[in-house]
Structure 1
Amino acid sequence: MELPECPVCLQTYDGDGTIPRVLACGHSVCEACLVQLPQHFTDTVRCPACTQLVKYPTQQGPSALPKNIDLLRICLEHSSSSASSSNNSGKAKQSFENDHPRFWSDEFYATWKDWILPEDVVSIESEPSDDEQPGLCSVLRGRFGSTSKLKGRVCFKDHHSLSLAQIVSLPSVNDSKFKFSYVALMMKCLDGMKEEERNELGLILRVSTKLSRICKAYGLWRDSVDGRLFLVCERHKVNLSGKFDDFRNGFSGGCGDSLNKDGVCGFAMIGINICEALIDLHSEGLVAGSFGLSCFCLDELGGIYVDLNETLVMGRKVRRKIMNAVSTREMVRDRQVGEICNELLKNQVFVCPELLFELLQKEDIALENGCYPVGYNSDVWSLACVLLHLLIGNELFQHVPEINEENSSDLSTWYISWVEGVKSLLEHKLGTEYLFLRQTLYKCLNTNPGSRPHVSDVRKCIRELLIKPQFDVVACVENEVNKDSNCHCLILGELCPLPKERSQAKKDHESHERDNGCHEELDRQGKERIGKSFTGDLSGAMVELKDLQGHLDCITGLAVGGDFLFSSSFDKTVRVWSLQDFSHVHTFRGHEHKVMALAYVDDEPPLCISGDSEGGIFIWGITVPLGEGPLKKWYEQKDWRFSGIHALTISRRRYLYTGSGDRSIKAWSLQNGSLSCTMNGHRSVVSTLSVCDEVLYSGSWDGTIRLWSLNDHSPLAVLGEDMPREMTSVLSITADRHTLVASHENGCVKVWRNDVYMKSERLHNGAIFAITMQGRWLYTGGWDKVVNFQELSGDEFQFDVKPVGSILSSAVITALLCWQGKIFVGYADKSIKVYYNSN
């Protein structure tokens, strides 16, 4: 025989240390554990056995509660025998029900939610030209004022310029009834990406917020017009490409081609800043492999930053040029590689040789020669070209040798010819005074990355143009990276090849040919990234199943029971609908005033109860055949100032509770319709009622929620009084064992989890008249004619209300009900619509 034990500490009761005390719900807990139980409300406590909220004498302590003499007698009689141990370590947390498929895990949501920018934070002012496709780098304008905060992460000023880089596109969804929320679409878009793509995107976001020489990434934003997902970064008004002519004039002093002393100093300042930006980039393991002047921008103080968005866009241009050049070839010879290099240089795109060969191999092209691996010194080659461009000017590209019969058979001959031309131009510009600078830049152009100097060495060389080594006290202090560590090349990464790669296109083409099918070429906007599975998920969302017509005025209440759907209306009737085919079955008539509330009693016999605006309470029999008149009716006592029933609910103790315009809650016996008690405390109309775990919740226009014990109808707690600034009318509440949600006139919902206030969230533009909860899913609707779907997740420490989607309507939503995967929506335009979750 197992001896009685405390449900908290699992110790056997005795008359000395573990004394059982009886709570109002009938369960017993030892004195020591009662003292330790959390008290979220004054003079109340949650029973650890049944979780019911019961009265507890805080001042007197547990000694004021009666002892459980029967339990003590059993324990004392068996004191000689050892108490059996319990394997239960405590009550397990109740998980939310899975009424709808989960689109993301809590861990995935927590990882990405802070990077999602609001939908209305930016607007595209200029569409990209064809040259900018498939990447995009457009000017955006913030819509927030200078004091508006953005997810606690950044403050956008009016007319603040930003830059975009397209990451992926979301397929369009043709379902006109259900619209997924912006956050849900963003999450699903991220979920549809390959893991390698998400890892790279996360790396870029983290790096950009850590480093001072990288343009800051604000987060991710989705264009609602075409579904494109963008990486949003800060954009400085000036880049090196735009100021190139000014720099060149400054270097030469406006007289001749040679650099004067001031010009050398100006070049050195710019060169040092560029080197430091690259050192910052390399310190976090990132490598570009290809740069142009447009990849660097300047702030108001002349500081130079790496624009990662522009770097991604340039990488996509490089990959597209290579794809176009080798689209019909199975092997690329030196002549073709030389032609590609020639075109890239003339377009001022500086791709290091090893990256070029690596990209060709990625396109399944056989090469005649091998290549070196891409690493940190790959950026040194591109850096040298940027510096040479600043020093030499556009002549650097005008003297690129053409591919001819003499150099077409050997790529090295073409390359040596170009390097010799660069040397000649550089000697002409610098003369013989800056030998060390020239030698360093020559080494940077070495085809072997291992023979090139490091970025920090280039920085030292340029710094010596300003400060002699013997005076440079910080010359030995450099922020170098571990040369042996692994690096991530942006252009070789997963975010740059936005167009479908040629090798995959060939496989798809062959596969479709085998199936004798036909498949259109996927566009270069990346829409194929999400795949058919995601499109299927979206199209399988809530769809309209039935439109119930018959009422002559606004719908006020919905209830389900006994294979019927019941609906009440301002037209003074209660209609009955079949849940099999949603046909109209019957109409209860008898009310002389607007029917305001509705409830179903699952008893023997089953009953439907309705209340009207003049205090009339009607009880209807549900036994088939349905009767014409009510089984019973009575009226609450009228108050000359306030009157009418605004809310109804039922308890298992066969009590009917009414919320009235006279600010009271009344308990009525269902046996004879007698008034059992009146609960007072609210200061305005009691607008909504709900019963859960032997607790009655009442919401009022006074902005508060009151909790009442169903054992003796005594008050337990008041919610909302400690938030006077946020007090707006409570219009609807819903509760389960752990969660209480209240909707308000200002479009907000407030959430309590295990008696702890968690958060307030604005879900609608206007009053929320109807709210219902099923498992972890919360449904709300109101004045803005939208039914919103939210997922509730979290615990006592962190709680989230995640927007999932919405149903756009043509009328105000006045009633909501969930039942077996279906959502019943009552509207102010007299209609009732049934939506079905096809998933």
Structure 2
Amino acid sequence: MDEAELPECPVCLQPYDAVSAIPRVLTCGHTTCEACLKQLPNPFPNTIRCTVCTLLVKFPNSLASLPKNLDLLHLSSVLQHRHSPGNKKVISPSSPQANGIDQSVLFPSALKSWSYEFYCKWKKWVLPRDCISIEKVGSESDGGVVCGEVLKYFQSDYVMGCVLREKEHVGLVRVGTFVEGEEDSKFFKASYESRILTVLYGMEEEARNKLRIILNATLRVSNVGKVFGFWCNEDDKCVYMVCEKVASPNLLKCVLKKKEDEDERLSSDEMSALAMFCMEICEILSRLHSEGLAIGFLRVSCFGFNDFGRVYVDLGDVFNTGRRLHMAVRIELCDLGISLKDTLLDKYLMFISPEMLLNFFVKESFKFDWGKSRYEVGCASDVWSLACLLVWLIVGSTFVEEMKCFLHFVANAIKDEKGCDYSGLCMRWSEKIAVVLEGRLGSEYASLQDILCKCLGFDPGNRPVITDLWKCLRELVIKPQFDTGLMLKQEVKNGKTGHCVVLGEICEMVEEADKELMGVIQGKDKNDGAGVELRVNEDVVQGVSRGHVKCTEMKGHLDCITGLAIGGGFLFSSSYDKIVHVWSLQDLSHVHSFKGHEHRIMAVVFVDGEQPLCISGDNENVICIWKVTFPFSEEPVRKLHEKKDWRYSGIHAMAISGTGYLYTGSGDKLVKAWSLQDYTLSCAMSGHKSVVSSLIVCDGVLYSGSWDGTVRLWSLSDHSPLTVLVEDKPGNVGSVLSLSMEHHLLFVGHENGSIKIWHNDVLMKSTQTHKGAVFSVSTKEKWLFSGGWDRTIGLQEISEDVDGMEVIRVGSIACNSTITALLYWQGKLFVGQADTIIKVYQGV
């Protein structure tokens, strides 16, 4: 057989493609590329002379309204695939290899195991994939802190006032990683939303509750960096929490100009400035505590100032500081030559409460005697850290040196594992701090010195509450007798409340979740060999959810697959190669070939009647009817011929209504009804303004889709028109290429890559699912499969509730060729491709 040449434009002689030489069909039926049509002269308004037949035809203002010649695009895609280097020779149906080779592939564990209710709770926090980019990644020794930059403006529909502005810097806090095997990513690609929701769903309920408390609290507490939501990085598959980051001047320059002589006492103005600053921190921490949040440590860089000079807490820095703290503890325990005191104070200037430090060591599997009770991290931990910050601002480097000694003794005592009086150690350290404070403050600020020393106590239950510290600081700014505005109705108790969330624990939560998930994946990889073989075949959707899908390839056609039909225990496939192949549904082996067409077959259907039939139609208006009983006949039992028009030709779609009628959609814009009793033409239904590209029958209604962008509904009883479905918005009209019906919903695939969902005559949802034409859609209950020009099979979940309809993108299956036909049947997904191969996906 001679190698066919690529179809090309009659003007510029360039091969047609979907980008540079798009084939457009004129009203006379001939095709010219879009680029040439733009350059042809217009002798009269809204007219153009066809380059082939030279007739003067109507020419619209917009070239996009002219339908694309999808047949030529199909043919061009197939031929280009043949010419590409490394393309394998086609296997004939009689060849032993034609029965296909099974390839078991592992998906990410528990993919799409979350419920619709879970999706509704968290979808509002999912940020667009293209709104953030990674700007900087810190070193591993620095905790791997990540910063990002906003690429485009984004405003949340749910959170009023939360706006991401272009080129704004944001903090990125990793909350998990979407883990998948190397082979998995080559086969199945989870959608962007699915990656984020899968990571969130993989967390324990307690961890998700902590995240939810943090997200809601940042919206209610002023002067705290907002959390905008979650974003997934395509490169490292990590899911990040995106936090507001405010660029502010150095803390020391705004609060206090350090004197060279640290023994010199602070002036009253300097003490008032310190009091104002720490009062605002007290107010912020108090509000966080009322929301159930406690930090457990404070770092100087966590604080900044907004445009009005008010103190601002950068939550992103708080989270990332927690990661650094984990890294510092591990380095200390591993004796890598970098001490904890140097890391916390010299490098980060971080003040961590004793109970939180001891809890960190416990989580690293170190055991030691807590004494009578184990002190939990809570609101009192922030009191201790804030007191350290205030003492440092008052005393200076002397306090840092004393703190280094304290941390050194604590770390060595823990590593010795011989037991230590931590309470006594802390008491002796606080006594030294009291002496230094007295020399710096003098007797004038005795009340402040007293409460700071109490705040630095070892037992959290004996520390003052944060409102007591706030009152003491306020007296430095305004005398009590003049303080008419002081009204504190409630106090925050110390200790750990039932809903307290320690922000630093988020970092550890992420690391533990990653370890567990990696352990599951690694354990699964080790047992893959035997485990897959023992599994029983199951539904493809269940296979995706569990993580295992099997793909079988059926080879035998010599050209692009155009249609699939199932009936009588067989799969029927039509192709441009003018042959209908019959395959056994038991073992997917090739059974027979119907050869009777002289032109490309465009569609195939099965009639389940007294006499089972297979009916196929080609692009020259010939319909062949085949008997589906053993032995299969070599010739069709009947051939029907549609009336030919020199301008329009070809059957593009077929559908069956029981055993009564065969419906055909053709290039002449008509839908024809053929009687299956005597094989005569019963009627022709007109109304479409272009090629009728797809047909389906459901619940007494015939649906017809056309290149004119509309779907028409016809009554099966008298073939009268019922209604027309078309979107009202101008410029959104795209050729209809595929239809599917499930219950009361109609799914329409368009040439522009969108899928529209209709209920009766109401457009419920429109999604841009593919990059290019959607040649086929198939449904199974709430699941929607779609495929087209971009060589991917989209998997989406359709959910309905009182608030409307939601289309959840679960993921996509990557294919090596354009998808031209999809058919779901008894748990299997049959996929016809332009490269002559039929693939069958099913769960295992």
- Using the size of structure 1 for normalisation, the TM-score is 0.76
- Identify which of 725, 746, 749 aligns with 1:743: 749
String of CA shifts for 1:256-302, please: whole Å, max 9, x gaps.
Answer: 96544553344333222212210220121211222222333433443
Q: Confirm or deny that 1:158 pairs with 2:166.
A: yes
5 Å matches for 1:18-29? none
Q: Confirm or deny that 1:298 pairs with 2:299.
A: no
| 2:475 corresponds to | 464
**SS of structure 2 residue aligned to 1:495:** helix
Distance, in Å, in 1 between the alignment partners of 2:394 and 2:694 is: 76
Distance, in Å, in 1 between the alignment partners of 2:190 and 2:206 is: 26
The answer to whether the 8 A contact 2:427-2:457 is kept is no
| 2:179 corresponds to | 171
Distance, in Å, in 1 between the alignment partners of 2:742 and 2:255 is: 72
Distance, in Å, in 1 between the alignment partners of 2:157 and 2:516 is: 28
Corresponding letter in the other structure for 1:590: G
5 Å matches for 1:526-537? 527-528=518-519
Higher helix proportion (structure 1 or 2)? 2
Distance, in Å, in 2 between the alignment partners of 1:499 and 1:650 is: 55
- 1:641/1:453 Cα in 2 relative to 1: closer, same or farther (>3 Å)? same
String of CA shifts for 1:681-712, please: whole Å, max 9, x gaps.
Answer: 22222211111111111112222212211111
| 1:455 corresponds to | 466
Corresponding letter in the other structure for 2:354: P
Q: Which moved more, 1:745-754 or 1:685-694?
A: 745-754
- Identify which of 386, 394, 397 aligns with 2:400: 397
**SS of structure 2 residue aligned to 1:565:** strand
- Identify which of 377, 382, 385 aligns with 1:382: 385
| 1:515 corresponds to | none
- 1:361/1:582 Cα in 2 relative to 1: closer, same or farther (>3 Å)? closer
Q: Confirm or deny that 1:812 pairs with 2:814.
A: no
**SS of structure 1 residue aligned to 2:145:** coil
5 Å matches for 1:466-615? 466-477=477-488, 480-481=491-492, 486-491=497-502, 495-498=506-509, 527-528=518-519, 541=547, 543=549, 545-615=551-621
- Identify which of 141, 159, 183 aligns with 1:131: 141
The answer to whether the 8 A contact 1:213-1:280 is kept is no
- Identify which of 174, 189, 199 aligns with 1:189: 199
String of CA shifts for 1:381-417, please: whole Å, max 9, x gaps.
Answer: 1111122223333332123474799998754454334
- 1:565/1:155 Cα in 2 relative to 1: closer, same or farther (>3 Å)? farther
5 Å matches for 1:146-545? 146=153, 148-149=154-155, 153=159, 154-173=162-181, 174-175=183-184, 176-238=186-248, 243-247=250-254, 250=257, 252=259, 258-260=265-267, 262-318=269-325, 348-359=349-360, 363=365, 365-367=367-369, 369-371=371-373, 372-400=375-403, 402=405, 410-477=421-488, 480-481=491-492, 486-491=497-502, 495-498=506-509, 527-528=518-519, 541=547, 543=549, 545=551
| 1:11 corresponds to | none
String of CA shifts for 1:114-139, please: whole Å, max 9, x gaps.
Answer: 22233333232222322343xx5311
Q: Which moved more, 1:800-809 or 1:575-584?
A: 575-584
The answer to whether the 8 A contact 1:139-1:163 is kept is yes
**SS of structure 2 residue aligned to 1:760:** strand
The Cα shift of 1:834 comes to 2.0
Distance, in Å, in 2 between the alignment partners of 1:530 and 1:201 is: 25
The Cα shift of 1:307 comes to 3.4
String of CA shifts for 1:331-358, please: whole Å, max 9, x gaps.
Answer: xxxxxxxx97898566633232344455
| 1:140 corresponds to | 148
**SS of structure 1 residue aligned to 2:214:** helix
Q: Which moved more, 1:792-801 or 1:398-407?
A: 398-407
The Cα shift of 1:541 comes to 4.3
The answer to whether the 8 A contact 2:775-2:787 is kept is yes
Distance, in Å, in 1 between the alignment partners of 2:404 and 2:751 is: 74
The answer to whether the 8 A contact 2:263-2:439 is kept is no
The Cα shift of 1:525 comes to 9.4
**Count of aligned positions:** 702
What is the RMSD computed on CA atoms of the aligned residues?
Answer: 3.5
- 1:498/1:672 Cα in 2 relative to 1: closer, same or farther (>3 Å)? same
- 1:140/1:525 Cα in 2 relative to 1: closer, same or farther (>3 Å)? farther
- 1:476/1:253 Cα in 2 relative to 1: closer, same or farther (>3 Å)? farther
- 1:280/1:526 Cα in 2 relative to 1: closer, same or farther (>3 Å)? farther
**SS of structure 2 residue aligned to 1:280:** helix
The answer to whether the 8 A contact 1:192-1:529 is kept is no
| 1:699 corresponds to | 705
The Cα shift of 1:140 comes to 0.8
| 1:73 corresponds to | none
Corresponding letter in the other structure for 1:271: C
- Identify which of 595, 608, 626 aligns with 1:620: 626
Corresponding letter in the other structure for 2:371: N
Distance, in Å, in 2 between the alignment partners of 1:541 and 1:255 is: 64
Corresponding letter in the other structure for 1:768: V
**What's the % identity of the aligned pairs?**
44
- Identify which of 825, 833, 836 aligns with 1:830: 836
The answer to whether the 8 A contact 1:295-1:306 is kept is yes
The Cα shift of 1:150 comes to 5.5
| 2:59 corresponds to | none
The answer to whether the 8 A contact 1:248-1:393 is kept is no
The answer to whether the 8 A contact 2:294-2:503 is kept is no
- 1:816/1:206 Cα in 2 relative to 1: closer, same or farther (>3 Å)? same
Corresponding letter in the other structure for 1:291: L
The answer to whether the 8 A contact 2:552-2:840 is kept is yes
- 1:523/1:595 Cα in 2 relative to 1: closer, same or farther (>3 Å)? closer
String of CA shifts for 1:584-627, please: whole Å, max 9, x gaps.
Answer: 33332332332222211112221111122222222122222222
**SS of structure 1 residue aligned to 2:379:** coil
- 1:659/1:679 Cα in 2 relative to 1: closer, same or farther (>3 Å)? same
**SS of structure 1 residue aligned to 2:790:** coil
Distance, in Å, in 1 between the alignment partners of 2:814 and 2:195 is: 16
- Using the size of structure 2 for normalisation, the TM-score is 0.75
The answer to whether the 8 A contact 2:832-2:838 is kept is yes
- 1:402/1:386 Cα in 2 relative to 1: closer, same or farther (>3 Å)? closer
- 1:236/1:253 Cα in 2 relative to 1: closer, same or farther (>3 Å)? farther
The answer to whether the 8 A contact 2:426-2:457 is kept is no
- 1:260/1:534 Cα in 2 relative to 1: closer, same or farther (>3 Å)? farther
Distance, in Å, in 2 between the alignment partners of 1:467 and 1:531 is: 63
Distance, in Å, in 2 between the alignment partners of 1:458 and 1:168 is: 38
**SS of structure 2 residue aligned to 1:377:** helix
Corresponding letter in the other structure for 1:794: E
**SS of structure 2 residue aligned to 1:167:** strand
String of CA shifts for 1:434-469, please: whole Å, max 9, x gaps.
Answer: 343333322322334344332223223333333333
The answer to whether the 8 A contact 1:168-1:529 is kept is no
Task: Give the gaps of 5 or more residues in structure 2.
Answer: 1-109, 414-419, 529-542
The answer to whether the 8 A contact 2:662-2:674 is kept is yes
